[in-house]
Amino acid sequence: MIRKLFIVAKGNSVAYRSLQNTVGLEPDVAIIYDRRSRIGGPDTTERRQASEIDEEVAAQGWAVFHNEAVEPLRESAMATTRYNKLREIWGMPKAKAQSPDR
């Protein structure tokens, strides 16, 4: 399930590519262009009114929506899985054997 949805302003390909390179491979992230129409005022078919997301897209060229409906345990399990994969790739330093006199 999508945990973070990045909405990028239409035509902002630089931000889109940057987000793809930095967070695009995360399994719970989606990055999309803003497809909503702004011509002629508010559209009655829109499911919501102007919001903080709209303001962020206008100000910085992108915004992120956090889906709070995803179960925290699932996120924790995903983090643990990622951590274990990184440990396999990089390996952990071997613990030094302690002398018996300590």
6-26 residue pLDDT tens: 999 998 999 999 999 988 888
The number of distinct structural domains making up the chain is: 1
Q: Give the structural domain span for 69.
A: 4-90
Which pLDDT score, from 0 to 100, does residue 41 have? Answer: 54
Q: 62: burial class by Cβ within 10 Å (0-12, 13-18, 19+)?
A: buried
Q: Tell whether 97 is covered by a domain.
A: no
Q: Tell whether 37 is covered by a domain.
A: yes
Residue with tokens 């300590």: 102
Which pLDDT score, from 0 to 100, does residue 85 have? Answer: 79
Which pLDDT score, from 0 to 100, does residue 52 have? Answer: 84
Q: Tell whether 96 is covered by a domain.
A: no
Q: Tell whether 28 is covered by a domain.
A: yes
Which pLDDT score, from 0 to 100, does residue 100 have? Answer: 63
Max CA-CA distance within the chain? 82
The pLDDT of 75-102, averaged and rounded, is 69
Q: Tell whether 18 is covered by a domain.
A: yes
Which pLDDT score, from 0 to 100, does residue 26 have? Answer: 85
For residue 91, what pLDDT band results from cuts at 50, 70 and 90? low
Which pLDDT score, from 0 to 100, does residue 33 have? Answer: 93
